[in-house]
Every structure is written in structure tokens, then in C-alpha cells.
Chains A and B, each alone.
Chain A
Amino acid sequence: QVTLRESGPALVKPTQTLTLTCTFSGFSLSTSGMCVNWIRQSPGKALEWLALIDWEDDKYYTTSLKTRLTISKDISKNQVVLTMTNVDPVDTATYYCTRMRFVDSGLPPHGMDVWGQGTTVTVSS
């Protein structure tokens, strides 16, 4: 059974750095084609893709937040960590990690088939 679980602080102050951890089981991020994404959802708003890390340790970020985000993985712990620097109240959101797989060689992936339950982060002084 594949599961993902997000963890991190519920409250952070503006200008601080937010660190979120995704702990997963049931798959390995060293397996070819495997990826983990971070997605966020501000209250009452749509889903926003933030970052992706793949089995080759390639890292990608949404253009608008690229300078503030860092994604990394620890294969031995089955964890993916997202850091966001200089947070602002607009970063208040529920943050999800998701699994995504490249199933067919050379073709885009099939969507995010497993999601964590999400962790809610409030940015406030």
C-alpha cells in the first residue's frame, strides 16, 4: 500500500523559513519513473503545483516561487523535504505531497495517483 504523510509546523511567522517533510511508504524514489510533487491549496482556492523531484534527483519548481523553494530527498528515510524561504501570509495554505509516475518511456506521466492528507500552515505574526 502506497501512503504519503506531510508534516511540518502549523504556524510560522512572516519572513521565516518553512520546512515541510513528506514521509512515504510503499514505493522507492530510486525506482525509475518515480516522482514526488508538492502541491498547495490556499483557503477556498484552487490547487497549485509547487515542486517536483524525480528518481534521478532532478528538481523542478514553479516559476513564480523558484527563488524561494528547495526540494530534496532522503532515499534511506523515504522522505522528501520542501523548504520555502521568506514566507508571507499569502503562503497560508494546506500543503500536499503526491506521488506521480512516468509509466511510458518518453511520455508525460499519468497524473498524481496517491496524495497525502495534507498539512495546514498558517503564516502570521
Chain B
Amino acid sequence: DIQMTQSPSSLSASVGDRVTITCRASQNINIFLHWYQQKPGKAPKLLIYTAAVLESGVPSRFSGSGSGTEFTLTISSLQPEDFATYYCQQSYSTPQLTFGPGTRIDIK
């Protein structure tokens, strides 16, 4: 199975900060990497698919990049509603799907 790792596991940031989260795959997954945002008590929400495509309705301050084994999610200017946990997920090895362990963003 393809293993996913994320760094950092958590971070503290302030409103307006630029934040970058990294996701790494244990083998080449091309661009089949997707990002989700989860707020406490809520279901995850798809933010970005195929590494860099913004899901409809997602603010443009979110962006994704990468291919192969290394990917990043960037929030250009952190907003109060962005404090949440972010997960990456690969679909390259569908039907065996795997998620990263998550990155929690807290208020500094």
C-alpha cells in the first residue's frame, strides 16, 4: 500500500500568515493527490483535487502544487475560518485509497 506522510503534524499561526503544509507519498502517485479540510465535529471537505485544482467554491487563498511524491498545500493569508485539520489523500492506487495523518492548524 502507498503510505502518506504530512508535515508538520501541527502548527500555530496567526490570521494573515502564509501557511504551507507538505504531503509525501511512499511512491510516485503522479498528480493524484487531494486535499481536505476538516473542522471539529464536521465531515471533511474537498479543497483541492489532482494536486492543484481548486474545488468549486473554495477560496483562492488555497493553492496546491506538486507531483510524483511531494506535494504542498498553501494558504496565502490565513483567515479565522481556516483553523482546522488538513488531510491529503492519494487515489493513484485506487481502489486502495490512503490518507495522510493530518496537519492541525491552531491559532497562535
Contact = CB atoms under 8 A, between A and B. Distances in A.
Interface in A48-66: 48-49, 52, 58, 60, 62-63
Contact of A111 (B91, B93, B96): B91
B87 A46 contact: yes
Interface in A72-113: 96, 100, 107-113
Contacts, number: 65
Given A60-B95, A96-B43, A116-B43, A111 B101 contact: no
B96 A60 contact: yes
A46 B94 CA distance: 19
Interface residues of B, number: 28
B84 interface: no
Interchain residue pairs A-B with the least CB separation, the first 9: A111-B34, A60-B95, A111-B49, A115-B43, A49-B97, A110-B49, A47-B99, A108-B91, A108-B32
A70 interface: no
B45 interface: yes
Majority SS at the chain B contact face: loop
Size category of the A interface is 20 to 34
A108 B43 contact: no
Given A46-B101, A47-B99, A109 B94 contact: yes
A117 interface: yes
A48 B102 CA distance: 11
Given A46-B87, A46-B101, A113 B46 contact: yes
Nearest to B44: A115
Contacts of A109: 91, 94
B69 to A, nearest CB: 15
A121 to B, nearest CB: 15
Interface in B24-53: 32, 34, 36, 38, 42-46, 49-50, 53
Nearest to A49: B97
Contacts of A116: 43
Nearest to A97: B43
Interface in A15-70: 37, 46-49, 52, 58, 60, 62-63
